[in-house]
A = this chain, B = another copy of it.
Amino acid sequence: MAAKARLNKEALVSTAMEIADTQGLDAVTVRRLAQEHGVTPMALYRHFTDKEDVLDALAARLFEQVVIPVQDDRAWDEQMADLLSAFVKVLRPHPAVAALVVTRGLDSEPALTLAERALGLLASAGFPVEEAAGIAGAALCSLGALVVTEPGGGPAAPADPEERDAAIRARRATLSALSPTRYPHVVAAAGVLADCPNDDAYYERGVHTIVNGMRYAHAH
C-alpha cells in the first residue's frame, strides 16, 4: 500500500472499506487513510471536502455494488423482494458500513438509482407518491439495521474472530444468568439472542417481512 501512482479517490475509498470491515468504522480515520497511502493527512483534502465526505463516499460505494435486477413482467411484490435481496447481499459483507446507510439515508447518486427502482415498483402497484417514498426509505433503512446487528457488526466491531467469540460467550452467559421468572422468554432464547444466527434464512425472513408489510398496505 506504498505510494505508487498519484493519490486516487477510488483507491482511498477501497482502503477505507477494508479498514471498516476489519477494524470497525471508528478506525476509518483521515490520518490512518493518509498513512496507508504513504501521504500526508492534508493530501486527502484534495479529494474529499470533509471526513463526512469520506464516509458519504464509503456508503455510496456500497450502493454502487448493488446489482439491480432487470425489470420483468412478474408481480411488483416479487420484483421488490428480489431488489431488496440484492441490496442485502451487498450489505452483508460490510456490517460496519451498513450503519452509515441507516444514519445517512439515501443521499448519494448510486443510492438514488436503487431508490428510483423501488419507487418505480411501488408506483406500478398504485401507491401514492408520498406513501411510496416513506415506505421505500423505511424499507432500505430497515435492511441496513438488520445487517448492522450482525454479530461483530456495528461501528465499533471487534473484527478479531477470537475476540468476537469471547464477546458472544460472555453475552450468552449474562443472558442465561438472568432471573428466569422475570425474563422467562429471554432466558429461553439466550442462545439465539447472544449469537443470533444471521444466516440466509434470517435475511430472507427480513426481506419477506418488509415486502409483506407493503402488500398489506397495498390491500389496505
Which residues from chain A sit less than 8 Å from chain B, CB to CB? 52, 99, 102-107, 112-113, 115-116, 119-120, 123, 129-135, 137-138, 141-142, 144-146, 148-149, 154-156, 171, 175, 178, 182-186, 188-189, 192-193, 196-197, 202, 205-206, 208-210, 212-217
Contact = CB atoms under 8 A, between A and B. Distances in A.
Given A141-B148, A145-B145, A192-B134, A119 B213 contact: no
Given A103-B155, A192-B133, A185 B116 contact: yes
Contact of A154 (B103, B115, B137, B210): B103
A102 B145 contact: yes
B134 A142 contact: no
B133 A196 contact: yes
A185 B120 contact: yes
A70 B186 CA distance: 18
A186 to B, nearest CB: 5
B189 A119 contact: yes
A186 B119 contact: yes
Contacts of A216: 208-209, 212, 215-216
